[in-house]
Amino acid sequence: GSGKTLSARLVSERLQSEARREDVNVEIAVIDCGEQHTEASVIKTLASQVNDPSKSGMSIPERGLSTGDYYNRLWQVLDTCSDVTIVILDEIDMLRDDEVLRKLSRAGENQKIVDSRLGIIGISNKIDYPEELTERVKSSFAHDELVFPSYDANQLREILENRKDAFKPGVLTDDVIPLASALAAQEHGDARKAIDILRNAGRIAQKEGADTVSDDHVRAAKEKSEADRFSELLEGTATQSKAVLYSLVLQTGGRKTAEVTTNKIYRQYLTVADDLDMDQLSERRVQELLQELDFLNVIQSEVRGRGRGQGVHGTHRLLEDPDIVKRVLLRDSRISTLE
């Protein structure tokens, strides 16, 4: 919510406009790596967005080709359909494999593309993401970093002041925007989430039949916004994963900072699965589900040593308030039977 994606799009479109004056064709492809997170899906989506069948003489099928075949079509599409292609990889840290970055960044060097050029903009909320790249990707994916700092309360207040015309005059009490700005700045400094709080405050007030939006509505809206945001993260998650997450919630004792070992989560999970009359997964499979939840930024997992000759153990902690996580999980009709 600090303007990274918007800025990348704006700058790319400005480049496209300026290049057009010089008779240079710039194509822009925006890929959400949260949805297209495999190597094949990124390449297929990129080729589809840039492709002009009248120029390339080929189509990009949804399925049926190997990853290598999709790459071959991509190189031909880039060389025939554009002079320069800018690829914006939004949520780049969601990629399951960074090999696609190595191949794209070396496309010109390896003469996969001859008549065109390729530039990559990666957008991530993880400031240390470049450190997670493999060494061979780091060497080829030479990059410059631009850090977008979080908004402070005054900046968020200015942003919300520009959005208050969505409400009728006099509906917002004087402390609504300052409070919404302060809560958002204190928690995350995210403009998108600050706007969500203001919007939800209005909806809650309207649902109550109130004449004005008050600070109580803002505080209720903050909780609702956090729950809705977490619900989006869990969208499509299997019931078994939710059962594992619910087990972690129970083990935290309501403390967000609590770190729980895999073994404790698994013992709790066996009870939860029994209560839900579900098949009980092996400890190894539960460990894999925890890794998937960590990948989705639902939890944070670490592997720690027990000491010399004592092996290692995994610990896991929630990245959201346990009460909110529990409330969202209980929206699932099957999990709700545990309440």
β-partners of residue 260 are 316
Statement: residue 231 has pLDDT above 90: no
pLDDT of residue 261: 92
pLDDT of residue 308: 52
Q: What is the mean pLDDT of residues 180-198?
A: 85
Domains and CATH numbers, the chain: 4-141 (3.40.50.300), 153-233 (1.10.8.60), 236-330 (1.10.10.10)
pLDDT of residue 307: 52
pLDDT of residue 25: 92
Give, in order, the Cα–Cα distances in Å from 28 to each of 40, 119, 120, 152, 211: 19, 10, 10, 32, 46
pLDDT of residue 279: 92
pLDDT of residue 256: 81
**273-284 per-position pLDDT tens digit:** 999 999 999 999
Contact, 156 vs 191, CB < 8 A?
yes
Statement: residue 339 has pLDDT above 60: yes
Between 318 and 186, name the one with better pLDDT: 318
**128-179 per-position pLDDT tens digit:** 777 777 787 877 777 788 888 888 889 999 989 988 888 999 899 888 999 9
pLDDT of residue 139: 76
**56-101 per-position pLDDT tens digit:** 888 888 888 888 898 899 999 999 999 999 999 998 888 888 888 8
Statement: residue 288 has pLDDT above 70: yes
Burial code (b: 16+ CB inside 10 Å, e: under 16) for 51-76 equals beeeebeeebeeeebebeebbbbbbb
pLDDT-derived band of residue 206, with 50, 70 and 90 as boundaries? very high
Residues whose CB is less than 8 angstroms from the CB of residue 54 and which lie 6 or more positions away in sequence, other chains included: none
Measured at the CA of 324, the angle between CA 321 and CA 329, to 5 degrees, comes to 125
pLDDT of residue 312: 58
pLDDT of residue 314: 84
Half-sphere exposure of 137 (CA within 13 A, CB side): 14
Report the predicted TM-score, pTM, of the whole model to 2 decimal places.
0.62
Statement: residue 304 has pLDDT above 70: no
pLDDT of residue 282: 93
**3-49 per-position pLDDT tens digit:** 888 899 999 999 999 999 999 999 999 999 888 888 889 999 999 99
